[in-house]
Amino acid sequence: MKGLIAATYAPMHKDTSINLGIISEYGQFLKNNKVRGAFVNGSTGDFVSLTTKERKDIITEWAANKPNDFFLVNHVGHNSLKEAKALATHSAQKVDAIAALAPYYFRLSSLKSLLEYCKEIASCAPNTPFYYYHIPVLTGANFLMHEFLGLASQEIPNFAGIKFTNNNLIDYKYCKDFDNGAYNILFGFDEILLASLPLGAEGWVGSTYNHLAPLYLSIIEAFQNNDHKLAAALQEKSMKFVDTLNAKGGFNGAAKSFMKVLGVDCGPSRFPHVTLSIEELKRAENELDDLGIMAYTSKF
Amino acid sequence: MKPHSNLYKDNLLNNVIPFWERHSLDRTNGGYFTCLDREGKVYDTDKFMWLQGRQAWMFSTLYNQVEPKENWLEIAKSGVDFIRHKGMDAQGNVYFSLTANGQPLVQPYNIFSHCFAAMAFAQYGIAAEDQEYKELAKKTYLNILLRKDNPKGKYEKGTLARPLKSFALPMILSNLVLELEDILEPNEVERTIDFAVREVMEVFLDGKSGIIYEFTKPDGSLEDSFNGRLLNPGHGIEAMWFMIDIAVRRNDRELINKATETIVKILEYSWDEEYGGIFYFMDSKGHPPQQLEWDQKLWWVHLETLVALAKAYEQTQNPEISAWYTKVHDYSWQHFSDPQHGEWFGYLNRRGEVLLNLKGGKWKGCFHVPRAMLQCWKAFERMENKGIIK
């Protein structure tokens, strides 16, 4: 699994029921913009607001309609290990990989408990690559991942890598180098993608790959051409994109709403995220246009 | 060029508008019947929202630009009320068609239904000084802008395997935004104009051939497929008078010249040397077009061409434009106009014989004929006043 992987939204109808009908088009939209895969039911996919049945329905629809040559990852983490295992079992034959983030209500206090949690889930889909989803700012599971790798590589036969959503680049580099690069460490911090490039990153998972795939591909290209000034200027656009939408009542809801502007109407967001009105969306589009960002958006 | 302002004015006020006033009003349900036979008798009562919006816009525009006649405002109101109360779903999307009494028949798959509704709401709001309709116009307009990259949304039948973008949308936006100019923020107007002019003149206008393509790939390049090769000459020419209007507003000589040049290029390409008239559809490589009606001669194509040529001549006094105007004028007035029963025929076969003698239907309503008459009347009046035409 390489390249840009979009953390996808849970498309909804106006009444916030799940809109499965748009998923095949959504997948094709990503593929047409050179996104290599979808990371479904994650933080961006609002898994915390979805019922288990909804999470299953969404991934079933993705599996039935995914574009050719396109990675599909299902996030199955849950505060209830029982639910997480049920989700893992359900998607085992449907996806290219499963991922889980740590329980976040009763937070984990040791690497050992994290290992147990991941091992239990991974064993429900023994033939499917398993990724640990490291996002300490939201889970509180603030462990060093290269230490966790030492355990997981021994204990979990289908352990494949980490979705690394943290800005600890030292830890990231150690993970990349672990066992001569045996594990796929996907970088998960869109606004500093550029910083991951000299460290050897080859795969990225994030929400703004839904909106700005051409921008990130330009950053990678500029870096490869040794045009670091340009790469930094482009990276700044991605930061501004996040700031602009974040200022509209919160990034998650605003960015989901913004998909409508790009031609994929993902519908409203559930509590506590906001849903932007057409006036707010138009204003956001104008501001992003003035910042020179609209030219880099994914095209329908 | 001969003075023609009276010809157009007289036809508009004493022939075309009375025809619609007499035959199209649905006094029971509000809105309009548009399926009218040669004499104006109603032969089908369904209501197509494109034409409801267009007729409401037309009567509002007459009220705003010609004379504030109460009767015209009432006719316009009957249309906008019908669209607002019957023609829209809960999310404010405009259905494609309804029964006479307002039961939806076809889902709101067509973004142009929204465009014509927005135009109608805006001009009616201005005419009646009705704030609610102005707000509704603005909302509908923003909805269009946000849907422009995927206009059909969930009603899109095509896959994304071969995405193409359509000329029709930037084209209509270039006209729509001027219709809503008094209602929108000034910078919103300029932004949309910039977008529309860029798309029309730099993306869909092909630098090599100098003509307008109906579809391009998302990156603006051409595609060798039925849709990718499709030319709709009337569309291209109509868009050029939208461009001239924008150029006049912005005092942009370069745009005026480019648009004028493009009108000539398209006419040279699409004029039927054998029978006269402008083809409806063509294939850019001369292959058989997909549209079986490709060689018909349509009323709107010729009327929009007359408007475009009148405006281009007003701005440039280019003799080439004058020659084309005479040619198109003679063909159109000879073949489409129906002095016996009023209004114009819509559909001729390639030889210029009347193919369908309807005056209105699913696609022909109270729009292209009266709008072109009004535009030509005003353009010639200005030229006569300025002494451009003696």
Q: What is the mean pLDDT of residues A205-209?
A: 98
pLDDT bracket for residue A202 (50, 70, 90): very high
Instruction: Residue A260: list chain B partners with CB under 8 A.
Output: 146-147
Share of chain B above pLDDT 70, in %: 100
Say if CB B278 and CB B266 are below 8 A apart: no
- Which among B142, B145, B163 has CB closest to A32? B163
When pLDDT is cut at 50, 70 and 90, the band that residue B2 belongs to is confident
Pick among B93, B143, B146 to test the A interface (most A CBs inside 10 A) = B146
Closest-CA residue of chain B to A276: B146
Average pLDDT over residues B253-259: 98
Amino acid at B122: A
Q: For residue A163, indicate whether it is catalytic.
A: yes
Chain A residues with CB within 8 Å of chain B CB:
14, 21-22, 24-25, 28-29, 31-32, 260-265, 278-279, 281-282, 285-286, 289, 299-300
- Mutant choice from B150, B199, B215, B221 vs A, greatest count of A C-beta within 10 A: B150
Q: Residues of B with CB below 8 A from A283's CB?
A: none
* CA separation for the pair A31, A69 (Å, rounded): 9
A133 catalytically annotated: yes
In this predicted model, what pLDDT tens digit does every residue of A21-35 receive, in sequence order? 999 999 999 999 999
Residue B153 confidence class, pLDDT cut points 50, 70, 90: confident
Rounded to whole angstroms, the Cα distance separating B259 from B315 reads 11
Alpha helices (H) along A100-227: 111-122, 136-139, 145-155, 169-177, 193-196, 213-224
Residue numbers in B near A213 (CB within 8 A): none
Neighbours of A45 (CB within 10 A): 24
- Contact between A167 and A150 under an 8 Å Cβ cutoff? The reply is no
Binned at pLDDT 50, 70 and 90, residue A144 comes out as: very high
CB atoms within 10 A of CB B253: 11
Q: Which of A22, A263, A278 sits opposite B149 (nearest CB)?
A: A263
Nearest CA in chain A to B152: A263
Question: Which segments of B129-274 does DSSP mark as H helices, in order?
Answer: 131-146, 168-179, 186-198, 233-250, 253-270
Question: Residue B374: its pLDDT value, please?
Answer: 98
Residue A132 and residue A117 in contact, taking contact as beta carbons nearer than 8 Å:
no
Alpha carbon distances (Å) from A172 to A145, A228, A267, B172, B240: 8, 21, 35, 51, 57
Contact status, residue B336 vs residue B359, Cβ threshold 8 Å: no
Rounded mean pLDDT, B270-274? 98
Q: CA separation (Å) from A137 to A102, A141, A142, A274, B68? A: 11, 8, 8, 21, 65
> Is residue B292 less than 8 Å (CB to CB) from chain A?
no
Mean pLDDT of chain A: 97
CB contacts, 8 Å: A66 with chain B:
none
List the catalytic residue out of A85, A94, A163, A248.
A163
Contacts of B153 in chain A (CB under 8 A): 265
Please count the residue pairs, one from chain A and one from chain B, whose beta carbons lie less than 8 angstroms apart: 55
Per-residue pLDDT, averaged over B135-150, amounts to 92
Cα distance between residue A286 and residue A18, in whole Å: 29
Question: Per-residue pLDDT for B37 more than 90?
Answer: yes
Between CA B87 and CA B100 the distance in angstroms is: 11
Can you give the pLDDT at residue A300?
A: 87
Sort strands B282-283 and A3-7 into parallel, antiparallel or unpaired. Answer: unpaired
Marked catalytic residue, from A117, A133, A209, A216: A133
Yes or no: say if A268 and A212 are a contact pair by the CB < 8 Å rule: no
Of B90, B160, B191, the CB nearest to A32: B160
pLDDT of residue B92: 87
Altogether, the residues listed in chain A come to a count of: 300
> Does residue A292 contact residue A214 with C-beta atoms inside 8 Å?
no
A282:B191 CB<8 A:
no
- Out of B91, B154, B159, the one facing A21 most closely (by C-beta) is B154
pLDDT tens track for A150-181:
999 999 999 999 999 999 999 999 999 999 99
For A222-261, how does the pLDDT look when each residue is reduced to its tens digit (9 = 90+)?
999 999 999 999 999 999 999 999 999 999 999 999 999 9
B188-204: per-residue pLDDT in tens? 999 999 999 999 999 99
The gap from C-alpha B219 to its chain's centroid, in whole angstroms, comes to: 26
Q: What six digits make up the tokens of A31?
A: 């593929």
- Residue B146 sits at the chain A interface (C-beta within 8 Å): yes
Q: Does the CB of B220 have a partner CB in chain A at under 8 Å?
A: no
The answer to whether the Cβ–Cβ distance between B146 and A281 falls below 8 Å is: yes
**B121/B136 Cα distance (integer angstroms):** 7
8-state DSSP, B40: S
The answer to whether the CB atoms of A282 and B188 lie below 8 A apart is: yes
Contact check, Cβ <8 Å, B146/A289: no
Cβ distance of B149 and A299 shorter than 8 Å: yes
Asked if the Cβ–Cβ distance from B142 to A265 is below 8 Å, we say: no
pLDDT tens digits along A92-139: 999 999 999 999 999 999 999 999 999 999 999 999 999 999 999 999
pTM (2 d.p.): 0.89
Q: Look at A260 and B146 and tell me if their CB atoms are within 8 Å.
A: yes
CB atoms within 10 A of CB A36: 19
Reply yes or no on whether the pLDDT at A90 is more than 90. yes
Whether B223 has its CB under 8 Å from any CB of chain A: the answer is no
Indicate if the pLDDT at residue B28 is higher than 90: yes
How many angstroms separate the CA atoms of B283 and B291, rounded? Answer: 10
Compute the half-sphere exposure of residue B64: CA atoms within 13 Å on the CB side of its CA: 18
Percent of chain A at pLDDT exceeding 70: 100
- CB-neighbour burial class of residue A110 (10 A; exposed 0-12, middle 13-18, buried 19+): exposed
Work out the minimum CA distance from B150 to partner chain A, whole angstroms: 5
- pLDDT of B1 > 90? The answer is no
Q: Which of A22, A24, A279 sits opposite B142 (nearest CB)?
A: A279
Which residue of A lies nearest to B189 if distances are taken between CA atoms? A286
Contacts of B139 in chain A (CB under 8 A): 278
Please name the member of A14, A262, A285 whose beta carbon is closest to the beta carbon of B91. A14
> What is the C-alpha separation between B276 and B298, in angstroms, rounded?
12
Chain A CB contacts of B145 below 8 Å: 282, 285
For range B301-313, the mean pLDDT: 98
